[in-house]
Amino acid sequence: MSKVEKSQNETSSAVQKWENTENEPSGTPPAYPQSCPSLETFSCGPDSLPNEILEEIFIYVVYTPGPDETRFPEIKKGIRRIFWRLHCLMAVCSTWRNLVINLPKLWTVIPMAGIHYYLPTSEAVSLALQRSQATSKYRVLHLVAVLSYHLNCPLAPIEHTGLPQYATINIEVQSYSLLYPIAGLLKKVIKFQDPVFLSELSLHHDHCQRPHGGYRFSRPQQNDYLDYQMSDEQYDKLLELLGNVRILRLRNINIHWNTVRLTQVVHFHLQSVVLGNHDELVEFLLMLQHAPRLQTLKLISVDALNRVTNQLYPIPEKIALPELESLVLSDVSFNVLQVVLNSIAPGSHRTKVALTRKSGTTTYDLYHPEGDGSDEEEVQEEVGSKELLDLLKSSNVHTVRYDVSGSKSRWVDQEHLRRMLRSLPSLKSLIMTGWRWDLGVILALKRPRSDKPFPYLTELVIVHGGHIRDARYLPHIAAGHSLRTLVVDGANTLGKHEKIIQRLRGVVPDFRFDPHPEQVEELNHSTWRLW
């Protein structure tokens, strides 16, 4: 065991007491006074650890999620967590306080927030910038903004020249209009930001008028685009930024993709946008040809409208993405699935699809520019499950997440699940979220003895559905597939049967209890993440 690991173990019990209270917005947590004496005795006495060891521990404590915390924190919670831990570390003793204040690596996150979000104040922003010891060429700072319609937040980090350059920028805004404050803030950022230094750009516009429980397809208007009311000079600078970033994450952000070249991007995440009709979808896909380094492509709730007429859309020649490793398609309609999967050239990449109710529908375009007296712009039509499964089969899908949301029943349909697996013989990973398992239904996962098409699963995840009836069959099912990974919520999912648990540990190398496994987190984007 290294000195750092030993030190972390020795301090863990005391640190955990105040770490567990990090969500308190203000005041002193009840466990905090009791934790301070033990921490102070450990670290501030004559036998205290060397500063370089404490520095490593502090960085680990501030930035690493705890065992019961999500791997990808929501942006507001992530900021609060970081600054709450910094506050607690500084309050232990004067030695720790001085060390924390003078350790620049602990102050790389520069927060900006509306006053009603209970996030760091303008004074905290100034202190963080000062303690980062940043210079105009310092490249590891992270600008994180959580704003509302009114730009009531400290702007000091970007309003003056000579300030440090940011390596990553993450902006989340809740407002009716995209112009304020995302576009306004972004104009200030691009005025001083050197594109060469920026490696990651994340933008999320949370539209206040979006209805709960459903998504209304709506064509983006001109004033919905990010570049609306930008000068030519500002837009050119924005395009230069986009052309240099390695990670690009956009949610409910509209961009004219025919003008963009993502020449350096490695990870591209696009979410909650209506590209228009299939012409715009094809235009977007053609843009990807100019992203030769792209390794991860995520399209989440990305929509496009099909024509009601029988006129076919021009499908581009197969788009080659030679470096692509992972293609993630989540909560997209059948017509979008069809165009994307048929357009991207086969390769060594893994295709991962999260199926929702929308996956079984095609959205048709009823829009008439001249107007026909109808208020409707789109209509949804269900497609047969065979069409969907045939499409997934032809695309050699590696991972399927089958989510209960939007289904008529929360109970697994044994015959439907069995039919789905028979249709996907190349499937390797199955993720079932939110489903309830009745007696005998788990047997739908059992491999047949015959040579009929059926996948050899290497990974099975069953979470958020409660108790699995007939869980005693799971060890046999796992052995039949030669599962390498099996994840369930907890022992309760298996009825707390110790014999079943022991048998599973014997046949599955990576068997574990985890309500928030990375396999689910990778495909879950309901909240905007800090990282």
Query: Residues 134-186: pLDDT tens digits?
Result: 666 655 788 888 877 655 444 545 554 456 788 999 998 887 765 666 777 78
What is the pLDDT, as a whole number, of residue 158?
53
- Percentage of the residues of the chain whose pLDDT score is greater than 90: 37
Q: Is residue 122 within 8 Å of 89, Cβ to Cβ?
A: no
Would you list the domain boundaries of the chain?
A: 1-105, 404-531
Burial class (CB within 10 angstroms; exposed 0-12, middle 13-18, buried 19+) of 324: buried
Which of the four pLDDT bands, split at 50, 70 and 90, describes residue 127? confident
> CB count, 10 Å around CB of 521?
13
Average pLDDT over residues 481-487: 96
Instruction: Centre a 10 Å sphere on the Cβ of residue 25 and count the other Cβ atoms it contains.
Output: 8
The pLDDT of residue 35: 47
Taking the C-alpha atoms of residue 274 and residue 220, their distance in angstroms, rounded to an integer, is: 7
pLDDT of residue 18: 41
Split at pLDDT 50, 70, 90, the class of 479 is very high
Confidence (pLDDT) at 385: 83
Q: What is the pTM of this model?
A: 0.84
Cα 354 to Cα 300: distance, rounded to the nearest angstrom: 9
Q: Comparing C-alpha atoms, which of 252, 314, 318, 254 is closest to residue 279?
A: 314
pLDDT in the model for residue 530 = 81
Q: How confident is the model at residue 465 (pLDDT cuts 50, 70, 90)?
A: confident
Residues with Cβ < 8 Å from 492, sequence gap 6 or more?
Answer: 466, 467
Q: Where is average pLDDT lowest: 46-55, 99-108, 457-466?
A: 46-55
As given in the structure block, the two tokens for residue 202 are 């994340």
Mean pLDDT of all residues belonging to the chain = 80
- Cβ(444)–Cβ(418) under 8 Å? yes
Most confident of 31-40, 82-91, 201-210, 222-231: 82-91
Query: Are 29 and 18 contacting, i.e. CB atoms less than 8 angstroms apart?
Result: yes
Q: What is the pLDDT of residues 260-279, one digit of tens each?
A: 999 999 999 999 999 988 88
User: 31-40, 191-200, 241-250: which has the minimum mean pLDDT?
Assistant: 31-40
167 to 52, 56, 60, 362: CA distances (angstroms): 25, 22, 20, 40
Lowest mean pLDDT among 178-182, 254-258, 327-331, 414-418: 178-182
65 has a pLDDT exceeding 70: yes
Beta bridge mates, 403? 433
Q: For residues 17 and 150, which has the higher predicted lDDT (pLDDT)? A: 150
List pLDDT tens digits, range 280-292. Answer: 898 899 999 999 9
Spatial distance between the Cα atoms of 164 and 139, rounded to a whole number of angstroms = 7
CB 72 within 8 A of CB 121: no
Q: What is the pLDDT of residue 379?
A: 65
- Most confident of the following: 29-38, 43-52, 66-75, 269-278: 269-278
pLDDT at 467: 86
- C-beta neighbour count of 40 within 10 angstroms: 18
Please give the Cα distance from 290 to 292 (Å, whole number).
6
Beta strands per DSSP E along 85-187? 109-113, 141-148, 166-175
Across the range 24-44, mean pLDDT stands at: 46
pLDDT at 222: 82
**What residues pair up with 330 in beta bridges, in sequence order?**
300, 354
Q: What are the tens digits of pLDDT across the range 182-240?
A: 777 788 888 888 888 899 999 998 875 544 444 456 778 887 888 888 889 999 999 99
